[in-house]
């Protein structure tokens, strides 16, 4: 069972307390980093998204918080049980308005304030809510103290999040002198050519970005994405496309 967490100020204490549980926890210090790395998480075993901070983010980080929750909501839509979005804030100003603005139709949302971050708060309010218990649903600006009742969780088997074909699209590449030479000799492209049109073109786009860092989109990929009707497949395509737009492929030396 996995927990995904964003905490600009409390990464160390949360990581330390997680060692007492039979869980895996992936933590990031910014919402941008958390959104961009969500693609690599085994979503079938995710149970909760923790957002633990002194206060809500602003500016660019707030935009990435919206993107992260939107992606997490899509993951929950295709899960056998609703996943939980849990806010732990020292200053909860603006939380009610934020929750109303987020798309959480497939999530259970909980909120709690703290005065001082303690090991007990992390274990009971945060981890307790995430992995074994429910609190009353979050409503407007009222953040009641957590109320727990025992509820066993289903055992989840491991299901790969993405097909190996999709992972091949973002494998490292051996760079040649020109873009044309690189795609001709790229072994991954050769395997993808007859496997999946979207991931083939995604790799072409990712390689092209190594030669032209100003590229931010691709018309072929945009068209393929717009014409994909399967929600789960479209989510997978979108996540990989967003990753390719904001990251560069590793280069084999």
143 in a structural domain: no
pLDDT at 186: 93
**127 and 169 in a common domain:** no
Whether the predicted pLDDT of 55 surpasses 90? yes
pLDDT of 68 > 80? The answer is yes
pLDDT digits (tens, 9 = 90+) for 149-177: 333 323 323 344 455 677 788 888 999 99
Q: What is the pLDDT of residue 207?
A: 94
- Count structural domains, the chain: 2
Q: Please, which pLDDT band fits residue 204 given cuts at 50, 70 and 90?
A: very high
125 and 171 fall within a common domain:
no
Q: Residues 116, 186: one domain? A: no
| Confidence label for 33 from pLDDT (cuts 50, 70 and 90) | very high
Tokens, residue 100: 């109303």
Residue where a domain stops, chosen among 84, 107, 131: 131
Question: Do both 120 and 175 map to the same domain?
Answer: no
Environment class of 167 (CB within 10 Å of its CB; exposed 0-12, middle 13-18, buried 19+): middle
Last residue of a domain, one of 131, 152, 176: 131
126 in the same domain as 199: no
139: which 2 tokens? 């409503």
Which tokens in the block code for residue 246? 């904001």
Q: Does residue 20 fall inside a structural domain?
A: yes
At residue 200, does pLDDT exceed 80? yes
Q: CATH number of the domain at 51, please.
A: 3.40.50.2300
Instruction: State the Cα–Cα distance between residues 39 and 42, nearest whole angstrom.
Output: 8
For residue 52, what pLDDT band results from cuts at 50, 70 and 90?
A: very high
| pLDDT score at 236 | 77
* pLDDT digits 0-9 by tens, 112-158: 888 888 888 888 788 878 875 333 343 333 334 333 333 332 332 33
Shared domain check, 120 and 222: no
172 and 123 in one domain? no
Please say which residue of 131, 147, 182 terminates a domain: 131
Inside any domain, residue 50:
yes
Q: What is the pLDDT of residues 77-91, one digit of tens each?
A: 887 778 889 999 999
In a domain, 32, yes or no: yes
Whole-number mean pLDDT of the chain? Answer: 81
**Residue of 228 and 158 predicted with greater confidence:** 228
The pLDDT of 46-52, averaged and rounded, is 91
What is the pLDDT averaged over residues 40-44? 77
Q: Note whether residue 144 is domain-resident.
A: no
Name the residue with higher pLDDT: 134 or 221: 221
* CA distances from residue 28 to 14, 17, 50, 52, 105 in whole angstroms, order as listed: 11, 16, 10, 11, 24
For the chain, first and last CA: distance in Å? 37
Domain that holds residue 231: 164-252
Token pair recorded at residue 97: 């308005």
> Do the domain assignments include residue 116?
yes
Task: Establish how many alpha carbons lie within 13 A of residue 218's alpha carbon, considering only the half-sphere containing its beta carbon.
Answer: 24
Under the banding of pLDDT at 50, 70 and 90, the label for residue 244 is: confident
User: Could you tell me if 204 and 247 lie in one domain?
Assistant: yes
């Amino acid at each position: 069972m996995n927990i995904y967490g964003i905490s600009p100020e409390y990464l160390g204490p949360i990581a330390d307390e997680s060692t007492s549980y039979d869980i895996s926890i992936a933590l990031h210090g910014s919402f941008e980093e958390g959104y961009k790395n969500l693609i690599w998480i085994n979503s079938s075993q995710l149970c909760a998204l923790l957002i633990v901070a002194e206060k809500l983010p602003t500016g660019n980080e707030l935009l990435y918080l919206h993107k992260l929750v939107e992606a997490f909501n899509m993951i929950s839509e295709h899960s056998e049980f609703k996943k939980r979005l849990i806010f732990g804030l020292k200053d909860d100003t603006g939380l009610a308005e934020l929750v109303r603005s987020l798309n959480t139709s497939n999530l259970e949302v909980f909120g709690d304030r703290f005065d001082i971050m303690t090991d007990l708060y992390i274990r009971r309010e945060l981890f307790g809510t995430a992995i074994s218990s429910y609190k009353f649903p979050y409503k407007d600006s009222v953040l009641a103290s957590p109320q727990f009742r025992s509820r066993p969780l289903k055992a989840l088997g491991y299901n790969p999040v993405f097909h190996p074909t999709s992972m091949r699209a973002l494998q490292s590449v051996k760079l040649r002198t020109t873009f044309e030479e690189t795609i001709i000799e790229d072994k991954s492209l050769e395997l993808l050519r007859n496997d999946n049109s979207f991931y083939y073109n995604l790799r072409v786009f990712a390689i092209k970005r190594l030669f032209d860092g100003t590229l931010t989109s691709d018309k072929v990929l945009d068209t393929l994405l717009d014409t994909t009707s399967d929600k789960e497949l479209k989510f997978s395509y979108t996540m990989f496309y967003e990753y390719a737009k904001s990251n560069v492929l590793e280069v084999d030396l």
